[in-house]
Amino acid sequence: MIRFAFVILLCSQAALGYVLRKRAVDFVDPTTGGGSWLDNAGSGGGEPLNVVISAQSSPNVLTDSGVLNYAKALGFSTECLGIHIGGPQSANLGDGNGSVNQTVELREDFGSSIFGTCLESAAGGNHFRVFRQNGPTANTGALFLAVSQEEDVTKGHTISPDGYDVGRDKLVNSAIGKKSFGGVTYSTTEQDLTGFLQSGSAGINHGIAIDGVVKLLTVTIV
């Protein structure tokens, strides 16, 4: 009777979408499948994919709604009044999907998940683009983030000097440890990865040099 009840419970959870399995790898290196660690910024250069949320994170973190809630726990939210200026950027994550537009772009919300990003749009701040590795040849579900710090509107809302490394580090520093939003608590650990991005400014949008470090985040719902 106990075994039968356990089977029924598993079937019910599967039907409701609660049974989600962690992947066996953190991610697949995009370059092994013809991809790149730089997205296409549409100006002849690319922005570094300088943060990866591991596929071994809690599966619900890796969904569209999950990453948005996680971002809100870190002080980011959707764009001001849902308005986006400029076209989306694309990335090839070497997963067989080719070049795909960003899933979402999120901005620092300065403590207000509803209107705070309007301040970021004017005063500058941190922001990131999300790309999901889910193609037929590398279906990991890992999220690749292009993170950068922006100047205010008087400076053309361009990337700050050293803005890719600064933006990356600000996001990671806000993530490490336990954070909560919307009734969900996250525990995040970080690992530095080298050898994927090349240090320097070659191929980087706006010619801004980077240190070549990728931050790997593993996010667990607790």
Q: What share of the chain is helix, strand, coil (3-state, %, to 5)?
A: 30, 30, 45
CA distance 155 to 151: 6
Give domain status of residue 12, yes or no: no
CA distance 84 to 88: 9
Encode pLDDT of 8-19 as tens digits. Answer: 333 433 333 334
Give domain status of residue 1, yes or no: no
Reported as a pLDDT band with limits 50, 70 and 90, residue 94 is very high
Q: What pTM was estimated for this model as a whole?
A: 0.85
Give domain status of residue 17, yes or no: no
Give domain status of residue 3, yes or no: no
Give domain status of residue 10, yes or no: no
Token pair of 201 as six digits: 């400014």
In what side-by-side order are the strands of the sheet with 104-108? Answer: 76-77, 104-108, 125-132, 143-150, 51-53, 214-221, 184-193, 177-181
On the question of pLDDT at 181 being above 50, the answer is yes
Give domain status of residue 167, yes or no: yes
Reported as a pLDDT band with limits 50, 70 and 90, residue 92 is very high
- Domain containing 187 equals 23-221
CA distance 100 to 3: 45
- Partner residues linked to 183 by β-bridges: none
On the question of pLDDT at 176 being above 90, the answer is yes
pLDDT for residue 157 = 60
Number of folded domains in the chain? 1
Mean pLDDT for all residues in the chain: 85
Give domain status of residue 46, yes or no: yes
Residues in CB range of 144: below 8 A, 6 or more apart: 27, 30, 49, 51, 52, 91, 93, 130, 131, 132, 133
| 182 HSE (CA, 13 A, CB side) | 15
Give domain status of residue 111, yes or no: yes
pLDDT for residue 112 = 59
Encode pLDDT of 34-48 as tens digits. Answer: 999 999 998 779 999
Best CA proximity match to 33, nearest among 138, 139, 134: 138
